[in-house]
Amino acid sequence: MAESDSAQVSGTGAIEPDDNSKQSELAQSLTVKRTSTTAWARFRRHKLAMSGFALLSAYLLSAVFAPLIAPQDPNFIDLNIIKQPPSTEHWLGTDRVGRDVFARLLYAGRVSLTVGVAAAAISAAIGTVMGVVSGYIGGWTDDLLQRFTEIIMTFPSLFAVIILVGITGPSVWNIIFVLGGLGWTGTVRLVRGQVLSLREMDYSTAARALGASDRRLMFRHILPGVMPYVAVVATLMVAGAILTEAALSFLGFGVKIPTATWGNMMQQAQRLYVLRDMPWLWIPPGFVITTTVIAVNFIGDGMRDALDPRTRID
């Protein structure tokens, strides 16, 4: 029986890879691991990204361990201590119904960060699947998906979110699904462009010649090549979702009180006397929103630079 360079026939008639093929697979695995290690090392050398990562981690841990850090009930109303400035007992003062601002700020982080991460994950998942299918299959499928994407992009995003939240109701999960269901258009365009390039690469041609199905090619061979770009975009979408939720809550269309979010804590700043006389009610949530968005953007920039070997990181 003849023996080829890359495979051999077993006694049952099945084609089995020889030592050279196994060595090639091992080398490819080691290359992937080495690339991941190099990307992580490049990310750690990005000072702004690491600063953003440390700050965001601090906010996440503060939200998770809020009952230990701020034992006060964030929704407890005490009319005897309304509108008190910061003190040793209430670090960030109290609001107009006597609730502890510091406790509400920590618990609000749970909602705002959950909205940002969950909405970004939904948008990234929808955009990635549609982009891979559109770019790989092409033809009328590509035209249909791209025209649908363009229709969604023509809607004024904030108005569309306000209308849909008004229809479905201003609950946390409704806001997550609305933001996630409308935020995928940019991801589709990005993924489609990468897939158009990757499907013509030599390894895709080789897999197709060996009889790999379209489904296997799309999600086993091409999808891993676009995931680094999706990770960067998803990171930046977290910041966008947090800002949109804050805007909705500030306008009164977001999560309703007594559930605290950073956005509805800022809603009190609509009153002139609060802006002038009670800065402890709006400066802390405004500061946290601003620094969170900056931190997430720094992380996204660091991921982009770490995954692009052409970028120099000092």
> Cα torsion for 286, 290, 296, 300, to the nearest 10°?
160
Give Cα 178 distance to the centre of its chain.
Answer: 15
Please, what's the b/e burial string for 244-265 (b: 16 or more CB within 10 A of its CB; e: otherwise)? bbbbbbbeebbbebebbbbbbb
pLDDT of residue 83: 87
pLDDT digits (tens, 9 = 90+) for 242-260: 999 888 888 888 888 888 8
In the numeric block, the tokens 């802390």 are attached to 284
The domains of the chain are located at: 32-307
Name beta bridge partners: 8: 16
- CATH topology for 32-307 is MetI-like fold (1.10.3720)
- 8 Å CB contact between 83 and 278: yes
CB atoms within 10 A of CB 140: 8
pLDDT digits (tens, 9 = 90+) for 135-190: 888 889 889 999 999 998 888 888 888 888 888 888 889 999 999 999 999 999 99
pLDDT digits (tens, 9 = 90+) for 297-308: 999 888 888 876
Give the containing element (helix H, strand E) for 9.
strand 7-9
pLDDT digits (tens, 9 = 90+) for 14-56: 444 444 444 444 444 444 444 456 777 888 888 898 999 999 9
CB atoms within 10 A of CB 122: 21
Residue 270 pLDDT class (50, 70, 90 cuts): confident
CB atoms within 10 A of CB 78: 15
Name beta bridge partners: 94: 100
Task: Report, as an integer, the average pLDDT of 223-241.
Answer: 87
